[in-house]
Structure 1
């Protein structure tokens, strides 16, 4: 089973809504950080090895047809080589709003690692390394977050062939996504989820 759709957009850009939309369109199951939280063994170790350059994509994505969110988004270069015909989706939003959302969720989670349950520490260590790979080292300030976000999106647009890339905001709903995937537009409303409160519910479900 090969991955056909890859989300290159960073977390907190509507990636969970995109996951639900991809599943609804029939291109799932769609892999998301949620899968790592649900299956820390072996997923955390597999991603930790990928960070070192020892990737096993078939094991990571076993059973999945598509993938979005971190850690996936931090490996868009490697994944283009592994899946050269895949379609990539870059979810974007206002950089300053993204930095605020990231700072109150993912960054807060990483900075509070010492207060997290011990069984989450390996996962948090892996997430920290993925963030650094994506351009967000520990101690980064808000300006650094904004600059890193802009730099990541710029790199995706430069590296992914234009005909394989959709630059997308989930607020635009079904039409651009379905046009890119050559899929009929569903009658149901576009899924909108994973606000900041839902983020913490998701994280706590893995603890």
Structure 2
């Protein structure tokens, strides 16, 4: 059963948060990289994005937390289905976030990384991945298109405000990963570990992580 719901868009520190949550005992945590380790999940994510109620339950079975896409598309449904779960909204400066998205996720979608494009074509669930990308990531997170800086940033800012308006303050942590362990641990009610706070999935590492199995939970 989910204990933590990540409501922040990708490229806001979602891999860092995944690593931190697992270190604190809130694993396994479902991040986008999980779909490459479990390609059979993608048909369920795509079905959920196309409107099949609760189709996301199958891939999330056995997970204690979720961050990033695909789960963020369904943050509202997850928050309603798991009323005891905490919600963490990872954010960063909107202009910086857009530039990170443009040079990583959107670049991969638009085929600007030849080695990544080859991996996508060879991926056994490439059709289902494309279906989720169009219906879920682009369709539901960005209103059907990812062209236009102002449009994309507007989608990002509206999403963040929607989460803040919807989730009760006592259940929500508005979190910048640069804040480190203290606010995260206080929110989750756990002690601060004697470990450096993780830093994961920097922009320059993106190509090497796409279509690779996730780190152990």
> Is TM more than 0.5 here?
yes
TM-aligned CA deviation for residue 125 of structure 1: 3.0
Query: 1:95 aligns to what?
Result: 94
1:3-82 to 2 correspondences below 5 Å: 3-41=2-40, 43-54=41-52, 55-82=54-81
What is the CA–CA distance in structure 1 between the aligned matches of 2:130 and 2:27, rounded to whole Å?
26
Quote the Cα distance in structure 2 between the aligned partners of 1:181 and 1:81. Answer: 19
Asked if the contact 1:22/1:28 (under 8 Å) is kept, the reply is yes
Contact 1:110 1:128 in 2 (8 A): no
Superposed displacement of residue 58, structure 1: 3.3
Three-state SS of the structure 2 residue aligned to 1:33 is coil
CA distance in 1, matches of 2:108, 2:78: 27
Aligned 8 A contact 2:45 2:56 in 1: no
1:188 maps to what in 2?
Answer: 195
Q: Which moved more, 1:20-29 or 1:56-65?
A: 56-65
Match of 2:162 in 1: 155
- Structure 1 length-normalised TM: 0.92
User: Partner of 1:13: helix, strand, or coil?
Assistant: coil
- State the partner residue of 2:142: 135
CA–CA separation in structure 1 for the residues paired with 2:151 and 2:42: 26
State the 1:137 CA deviation. 2.4
Aligned mates of 1:189, 1:163 — CA distance in 2:
27
Q: Number of residues paired by the alignment? A: 204
Q: What CA distance in whole angstroms lies between the structure 2 residues aligned with 1:3 and 1:150?
A: 25
User: What residue number does 2:186 align with?
Assistant: 179
TM-score, L = length of structure 2: 0.88
Between 55-64 and 23-32, the greater mean CA deviation after superposition: 55-64
Q: Which stretch shifts more, 73-82 or 105-114?
A: 105-114
Unpaired runs of 5+ in structure 1? none
RMSD: 1.7
Structure-2 change in CA distance of 1:71 and 1:102 (3 Å): same
> Which stretches in structure 2 are left out of the alignment for 5+ residues?
none
